[in-house]
Each structure stands twice: as structure tokens, then as C-alpha cells.
Amino acid sequence: MISTNQFKAGMALLLDGELYLLVEFQHVKPGKGSAFVRTKLKSIKNGAVLSKTFDAGEKFQDAFIEKRALQFQYRAGDSYHFMDLETYEDRFFQASELAEAVRYLTENLEVKGEFYESRLIGLELPTTVTIKVVESDPGLRGDTSKASMKPAILETGFKIQVPLFVEPGEQIKVDTRTGEYAGRGL
């Protein structure tokens, strides 16, 4: 059991038999009346964010989230195959289970899989990933303006805005939190 006094952002909670992630919380002590905790919870099942208020000291069932090191191997249709880096066993997941993480999965990328009762609930990606540009329009020679961007398609199929100097075949860094260009790759 866990109390509202032990809340931390990212913590997993079981409410009414459903798994939620604690997105944010705020302890409130009004001048009159008892203290309470205002929260925003994200449903693991459908991704909906809801606001809930709890009395201070209220107890909840905490959920154990297991994190496992995984390495992305390859994609076969809608299946994404990973190797568990502890047991070396092959695990595969559907694109629908991985959500937006599929945009950044390149061969041999190491990620952390978050599991609840042996079911994948999310992937923890590195802050930036290096991905190859497969298609983009040619840039204008001599145009070095930082504000000028053009569309490009990455090897994962993700479309992104890149500076004019980026050419097909180049490696670029992409910020996985925002989905934006973050610099030239290695």
C-alpha cells in the first residue's frame, strides 16, 4: 500500500482495478478544512488523462512495474522484434503496443521495456536517437538560415522537418521527447 504522502511523478497506481501513471500531483493545505492532493493520472489502458482529488494520507494499491533492457532487432510487418538483454530471449510486440515509439526504432537500439504482470505497457527511449534520412528535397546552395526547414522522411518512415543542408543518406539526431531535429548524427 502507498499513501498520498509518498507520491512521485511517474509512479504506477491501481485504482478500481485499472493501472494509472501519476503524471503530476500537488499537495494542497487550505486555510480552512483538511488537506488534499490534486492529481493528474494517465490510464495505461487507453492513454486518457484524468484529474482526481484525494484526501491527504489516503492509501492506494501500488503497482510493480518491471523494467527490462531490450535491444530492437528488426521489424516484420506490424511485429517489432526485440532481444531481452538479460535472458537473450526473442520478444515481439505489435505496433499498436509500442505507440509512437515505432518512429524511433532503428536496428540495435537499446531501450528499457516497462512491464506490468508480464505485459508491455511502454518503452523508455533514449533522449536522442540517430536515424538515417532516406528522402528529402534538395536544399538551396548558400542558404544557411537557421529558420529554413524542409520535410524529410527517415528510415523508420517518420516524417520530420530538417534544415536545408540535410541530404538523403545522412545520419541525423532526433529528440524522442519532441520528435524534432536535434543535430547531425555521427
Model confidence pLDDT, tens digit, residues 30-73: 888 889 999 998 888 777 888 999 898 888 887 888 899 999 99
User: In this structure, which amino acid lies at residue 53?
Assistant: T
Q: Is the pLDDT of residue 139 over 70?
A: no
The confidence band for 130, taking pLDDT boundaries of 50, 70 and 90, is very high
Q: What CA–CA distance (Å, rounded) separates 120 from 63?
A: 14
Percent of the chain with pLDDT over 90: 42
Segment 2-29 shows an average pLDDT of 85
123 burial class (0-12, 13-18, 19+ CB within 10 angstroms)?
buried
Q: Which residues contact 26 (CB under 8 A, 6 or more apart)?
A: 37, 38, 39
Q: pLDDT at residue 169 above 70?
A: yes
CA-to-CA separations, 170 to 60, 137, 185, in angstroms, rounded: 50, 13, 8
For the whole model, what pTM was predicted? 0.74
DSSP 105: -
Q: Which residue has the higher pLDDT, 30 or 142?
A: 30
| pLDDT for res 117 | 85
Q: What does the pLDDT read at residue 11? A: 82
Q: What are 62-114's pLDDT values in tens digits?
A: 788 889 999 999 999 889 999 999 999 999 999 888 888 899 999 999 999 98
* pLDDT surpassing 60 at residue 125: yes
What's residue 158's pLDDT?
Answer: 92
pLDDT of residue 46: 78
Q: How confident is the model at residue 121 (pLDDT cuts 50, 70, 90)?
A: confident
List domains and CATH numbers for the chain.
2-62 (2.30.30.30), 66-124 (2.40.50.140), 128-184 (2.40.50.140)
